Structure 1
């Protein structure tokens, strides 16, 4: 029986996948894994029983990633599960940035008498350009960026994308009509609209700042449905005053940008659809189950992707530092008992590594303890088929 703690409301469709061998609770004590959406976990004290955390969503800034890695806690996210929901909201934001729809609606609500006449008289103040034929720059071509690029191209826009780390799967999904830029400066110089789809890292925080705005085409409209601090709010307000940025649409309302006529603040609705919440929950639960039951790691943000079909009756999963000779020490201990390794895989990611070993004979508890005593070993689990 595994115990799963939920920190937020998780879709019932996802939780139903756990089955009878799982106990779902909001109590952290003795939890084997945690399901979370938006709860802040940095100040939480996690018990030694926790083996994994799954974020039902893509961003993991609310989880102490490095601290979890040192403790041998695998952190998962659900990339792509909410991509369509965010893509639809980005396209909505694209249109809102051009056509002054929000401003027009707010003005129309103030009309009380002879409304039809006043509408015809005043609607000219809310005109805006069509997106057809305009250039959209897509910064970041992950699951969401690719979908946005393809949808904008289908709307008749010229799309230029930039991502120096684009994955093979993302590249395959990208329309052949999308132009590939070799630098951010190339996108900045050409784009009438910019949409941001990069993760928040130390290297990307405030990457859209005074220096970046100075390189952009005057009158650019910027969409941010990724993370608020990718954009320096003070600098974009100044860029709006200078006429560099015509409109800024953000899914992250904060005090600095709330009361500017040229900034549209959407209350973090990008992934707020029942379909998205269900998709994220289902994906998170499937990853937790696969790890707890089979030891497979898929879509982890702090450990390497490592999965292997069962090849024997018993399985050792070992989290360890990525250092020389450690694999040899592990296999030497197993061989002392005359146990044959039926199958094995090892993957590394930075300073951490993960090893799966299948055998038809159970390794003794004494030798499991000996493996745990090897310098650099973080955690060992024994699974039975």
Structure 2
């Protein structure tokens, strides 16, 4: 019986997928797998029995990835599962930044006791007039699951859309509307677009990418939207750009003490993926990936180990070896199996940065001595017999 612990409330559409071979447990130290949303795991001590963590969402900054990798714990996320929910809020942000709907609603609330509010409205509404987004240029930085949906939807609304992503996947390229102009230069996005929306992960090369240098290139009166990660935008530089009028509106889904106090901002309390549908989709994807790894050793959408898929286990035994990505590792692994007279019927090896994964189907189950030899190989992090 495999035991699963939920650190956060996880949609039943996910947990209901767990079959009779699984049981939910309230004791984290006895869990084979953990399901998590936003709970911080950086200060946690992980038991030797923990095999995997599945994050029901895309961001994994609440999980110590390297520490998990060093203990042979595979960490999964669910890219794309909440993409539609985020896309819809980005479109709402585009419209709210173009038409002062929020200001108009506030005016109506402030004047709710005016017996002549209908008449007064006609004189006052010009203060909240805006512009239409049709025909305006939108720059989409990052054409992943969310960026592609945003670009396609904006093109459907009549915007002239430019997309930038030097690492666009084949799948994303196929999904991208032919109406979207793909550019290989960020400068084109910065210099040409009336609206700019960012959809890239928070890594060293992207943190603070919307800074003074980038903002100085932009059109006067540009609208910037950030529904990806708050650290992608330099808050001090954005505050100055808003104050000077260089940026007309900054729409962000990430409140912090700086963004919440900037003028001409629309600050949303991180609602991008806060829909029932997104939470259900993320939960289902997280549980499916966790079960696939525990039952078959296959890795899909891990953030600290490479993707690897050998299908459903049909042989007598399957062995998974999580290890460092160093020379001669395969030779040592196969040598240990050969010393026990074990024949490998199928094998795959994949690597990702510092870490690698070897998955093997065997004709016979290995002895305890063979497993011991595998574990003693320098650089091996975890050996699991499935």
Shorter-chain TM band: over 0.9
Q: Which digits, 9 at most, give the CA deviation of each residue in 1:5-54, with x for residues without a partner?
A: 11111000100101121111232111111111011111111111111111
Q: What residue in structure 2 maps to residue 357 of structure 1? A: 360
Q: Which digits, 9 at most, give the CA deviation of each residue in 1:39-97, with x for residues without a partner?
A: 11111111111111111001111111111111111110001000000000000000001
What's the CA shift for 1:336?
2.0
Which residue, 337, 341, 364 being the options, matches 2:340?
337
Superposition pairs of residues 189-200 of structure 1, within 5 angstroms? 189-200=191-202
Unaligned runs of 5+ in 1: none
Q: What residue in structure 2 maps to residue 107 of structure 1? A: 107
Q: What residue in structure 2 maps to residue 76 of structure 1? A: 76
Q: What residue in structure 2 maps to residue 53 of structure 1? A: 53
Residue 380 (structure 1) aligned with residue 359 (structure 2): no
What's the CA shift for 1:311?
4.7
Work out the CA distance in 1 between the residues paired with 2:26 and 2:144: 33
Work out the CA distance in 2 between the residues paired with 1:129 and 1:51: 53
Q: Does the CA-based 8 Å contact 1:311-1:342 persist in structure 2? A: no
**How many residues of Structure 1 are paired with residues of Structure 2 in the alignment?**
383
Q: Which digits, 9 at most, give the CA deviation of each residue in 1:313-367, with x for residues without a partner?
A: 1000000111111111111121222221111111011121100111121000111
Work out the CA distance in 2 between the residues paired with 1:29 and 1:197: 36
Work out the CA distance in 1 between the residues paired with 2:19 and 2:229: 35
What is the root-mean-square deviation of aligned Cα atoms in Å?
1.0
Residue 286 (structure 1) aligned with residue 288 (structure 2): yes
Work out the CA distance in 1 between the residues paired with 2:314 and 2:12: 33
Q: Does the CA-based 8 Å contact 2:81-2:281 persist in structure 1? A: yes
Q: What residue in structure 1 maps to residue 63 of structure 2? A: 63
Q: What residue in structure 1 maps to residue 298 of structure 2? A: 296
Work out the CA distance in 1 between the residues paired with 2:12 and 2:121: 46
Q: Secondary structure at the match of 1:9?
A: coil
The TM-score normalised by the length of structure 2 is 0.97
What's the CA shift for 1:378?
0.6
Work out the CA distance in 1 between the residues paired with 2:121 and 2:323: 68
Q: What residue in structure 1 maps to residue 4 of structure 2? A: 4
Question: Cα–Cα, structure 1 residues 5 and 123, in superposed 2: closer, same or farther, change >3 Å?
Answer: same
Q: Which digits, 9 at most, give the CA deviation of each residue in 1:239-268, with x for residues without a partner?
A: 011221000111111121224441001111
Q: Which digits, 9 at most, give the CA deviation of each residue in 1:130-175, with x for residues without a partner?
A: 0000000000000000000000000000000101111110011001
Which residue, 139, 142, 146 being the options, matches 2:141?
139
Q: Secondary structure at the match of 2:30?
A: coil
Q: Does the CA-based 8 Å contact 2:239-2:263 persist in structure 1? A: no
Work out the CA distance in 1 between the residues paired with 2:340 and 2:4: 35
